A = this chain, B = another copy of it.
Amino acid sequence: MFEPIAPPHVGLYVCGPTVYGDAHLGHARSAIAFDIVFRYLIHLGYKVRYVRNITDVGHLENDADEGEDKVAVIARLEKLEPMEVVKYFTDRYHRDMDMLNVLHPSIEPTASGHIIEQIEVVKTILENGYAYEADGSVYFDVDKYNADYPYGKLSGRKVEELLQTTRELAGQKEKKNSFDFALWKKADDRHIMRWPSPWSDGFPGWHMECSAMSVKYLGDHFDIHGGGMDLLFPHHESEIAQSNAAHGHESVKYWMHNNMITIDGQKMGKSLNNFITLQEFFSGEHKALQQAYSPMTIRFFMLQAHYRSTLDFSSDALYAAEKGMAKLMQSQQLLHKLPVSPQSSVDIKPYGERLYEAMNDDFNTPITIAHLFDLSKLINQVNDGKAQLTEEDIETLKIWFKTFLLDILGLQEEEQGGNDQLVDDLMQTLLDLRQQAKANKDYTTADHIREALGKLNIQIKDTKEGAKWSVN
């Protein structure tokens, strides 16, 4: 049961992207998972401050303490200033998230924009004795910390095991132990992004930005910290250690991690030739893809698995998601045309309770979607005259569909563009002409219209209330 620290306020911090490449399914999954958390908490009436950061400095290759900065690598290859790389990929990330209908966070701080705040945390940890300086860099003293606090609490790792599994990387001689991690790194000559500090011209360790920025904007005890499962260790484990070392207590009440995405059962990776960006999904332009998949199909596909489960991408699964979502959208439209009865043949109340139960059960979106499919079935039965609903019950269903499908799951009709009204008007003109032709017993013209529309994949269905049309 979720209990905020200071209701109605909720502080939510999520690790955002390192902006050195285009967003892929993994980015989408994390953003969508916490978008659901954000949306549902807002729906429940909480005042949510959602902070999602942009990592634009300090994230080194291999997530390690040595090697080149991920952003700087691209800047060097493309002959750009690192902040040009940051601007380019941040803009593209925003565009992709907008297409996925991911709400904007309340604050989107950057690591490079919070160097002072990070230096201040490093100073405090040094003062508290849980870090040491070595040749201009500052390292977190895991052994010292482990004597006072349980290191490995989040990930279940033990310091003794880490000693055997962490590699001795080049240039790490200055560390007391291989598992110590950098809080501040002295910049070598080739390092462009650098700032003055009490210890050296350098840059903050990767784990430091989230510790500094979450506390700055949410306080040193806040509700939820989220991120991808791959960040659990060492990133989030290190954040907990930094928090204890700086504040004497943990900052986060609830940790949430979304699970990973596999592609046809395999891990996704640039070297595995199955690395597909979101834009490639949207356009279909990748040799591993047989077709394009719309942003809403990708979103629905993600929501059909619980965020803590692994999710396997395959063409079949995405195709099924496309059909499933279309079905729910059709049901929602059908709701506005249902026949009204004086009495309902079913009690709809339990349906609504189940929708909330599913979301209250750790944001269980696949179950929520299953319940919406149940409602979809009921709507079809009513439409076919096999079940009845009162006007009031139909209105309630409309509210549930809007609330859960659109507001909470964040799905939306795929953009058909701005000509929808004109298309409707032209179709009405054509249907009127056909009606007139039939009235005049001019069946040649009436059939011609039906056939011409058929070629445009538009189906006409004659109903009691006149002809209806739909695009296949």
Seen from chain A, the residues whose Cβ lies within 8 Å of a Cβ on chain B are 49, 81, 83-84, 86-87, 91, 94, 104-110, 112-116, 120, 195-196, 217, 415-420, 422-423, 425-427, 429-430, 432-433, 436, 445, 448-449, 452-453, 456
Give min CB distance, A409 to chain B, whole Å. Answer: 22
How many angstroms from the CA of A81 to the CA of B50 in the assembled complex?
Answer: 11
A84 — which chain B residues lie within 8 A by C-beta?
Answer: 49, 106-107
How many angstroms from the CA of A321 to the CA of B201 in the assembled complex?
Answer: 54
A453 — which chain B residues lie within 8 A by C-beta?
Answer: 429
**Contacts A116-B196, A429-B430 supplied; 14 other A-B pairs, CB < 8 Å:** A83-B109, A87-B104, A87-B105, A87-B107, A87-B108, A416-B419, A417-B418, A419-B419, A419-B422, A422-B456, A429-B456, A432-B452, A433-B448, A436-B445
How many angstroms from the CA of A169 to the CA of B325 in the assembled complex?
Answer: 63
Copies in the complex: 2
20 residue pairs from A and B, CB less than 8 Å apart: A81-B106, A83-B109, A84-B106, A86-B107, A87-B104, A87-B107, A110-B113, A112-B113, A116-B196, A416-B417, A416-B419, A417-B417, A419-B422, A422-B423, A422-B456, A423-B423, A426-B426, A426-B427, A426-B430, A429-B449
Known: A217-B83, A415-B418, A456-B426. A91 touches B113 (CB 8 A): no
Q: Chain A binding site: helix, strand, loop or mixed by DSSP? A: helix
How many angstroms from the CA of A104 to the CA of B91 in the assembled complex?
Answer: 9
Beta-carbon contact of A423 and B426 below 8 Å: yes
Give min CB distance, A192 to chain B, whole Å. Answer: 11
Give min CB distance, A457 to chain B, whole Å. Answer: 9
Give min CB distance, A389 to chain B, whole Å. Answer: 33
In the complex formed, the residue of B with least CB distance to A115 is B116
How many angstroms from the CA of A449 to the CA of B430 in the assembled complex?
Answer: 9
Beta-carbon contact of A429 and B417 below 8 Å: no
How many angstroms from the CA of A217 to the CA of B83 in the assembled complex?
Answer: 8
A217 — which chain B residues lie within 8 A by C-beta?
Answer: 81, 83
Beta-carbon contact of A106 and B120 below 8 Å: no
How many angstroms from the CA of A105 to the CA of B429 in the assembled complex?
Answer: 47
Beta-carbon contact of B112 and A425 below 8 Å: no
How many angstroms from the CA of A419 to the CA of B433 in the assembled complex?
Answer: 22
How many angstroms from the CA of A471 to the CA of B404 in the assembled complex?
Answer: 39
Beta-carbon contact of B91 and A107 below 8 Å: no
How many angstroms from the CA of A423 to the CA of B84 in the assembled complex?
Answer: 40
How many angstroms from the CA of A449 to the CA of B429 in the assembled complex?
Answer: 8
Known: A416-B418, A418-B415, A422-B423. A81 touches B49 (CB 8 A): yes
How many angstroms from the CA of A114 to the CA of B433 in the assembled complex?
Answer: 66
A445 — which chain B residues lie within 8 A by C-beta?
Answer: 433, 436, 445
In the complex formed, the residue of B with least CB distance to A417 is B417
How many angstroms from the CA of A430 to the CA of B107 in the assembled complex?
Answer: 52
A106 — which chain B residues lie within 8 A by C-beta?
Answer: 81, 84, 87
In the complex formed, the residue of B with least CB distance to A114 is B113
How many angstroms from the CA of A449 to the CA of B431 in the assembled complex?
Answer: 12
Beta-carbon contact of A116 and B116 below 8 Å: yes
How many angstroms from the CA of A418 to the CA of B116 in the assembled complex?
Answer: 47
How many angstroms from the CA of A429 to the CA of B469 in the assembled complex?
Answer: 16
Give min CB distance, A318 to chain B, whole Å. Answer: 21
A104 — which chain B residues lie within 8 A by C-beta?
Answer: 87, 91
A425 — which chain B residues lie within 8 A by C-beta?
Answer: 456
Beta-carbon contact of B452 and A429 below 8 Å: yes
A116 — which chain B residues lie within 8 A by C-beta?
Answer: 115-116, 195-196
Give min CB distance, A264 to chain B, whole Å. Answer: 31
In the complex formed, the residue of B with least CB distance to A107 is B83
How many angstroms from the CA of A331 to the CA of B308 in the assembled complex?
Answer: 57
Other-chain residue from B423, B430, B436, B456 in contact with A430 (beta carbon distance below 8 A): B430
Give min CB distance, A444 to chain B, whole Å. Answer: 9
A426 — which chain B residues lie within 8 A by C-beta?
Answer: 423, 426-427, 430, 456
Beta-carbon contact of A449 and B433 below 8 Å: yes
In the complex formed, the residue of B with least CB distance to A415 is B418
Known: A81-B49, A87-B106. A419 touches B429 (CB 8 A): no
A49 — which chain B residues lie within 8 A by C-beta?
Answer: 81, 84
A419 — which chain B residues lie within 8 A by C-beta?
Answer: 416-420, 422-423
Give min CB distance, A222 to chain B, whole Å. Answer: 13
In the complex formed, the residue of B with least CB distance to A195 is B116
How many angstroms from the CA of A81 to the CA of B107 in the assembled complex?
Answer: 9
How many angstroms from the CA of A105 to the CA of B49 in the assembled complex?
Answer: 29
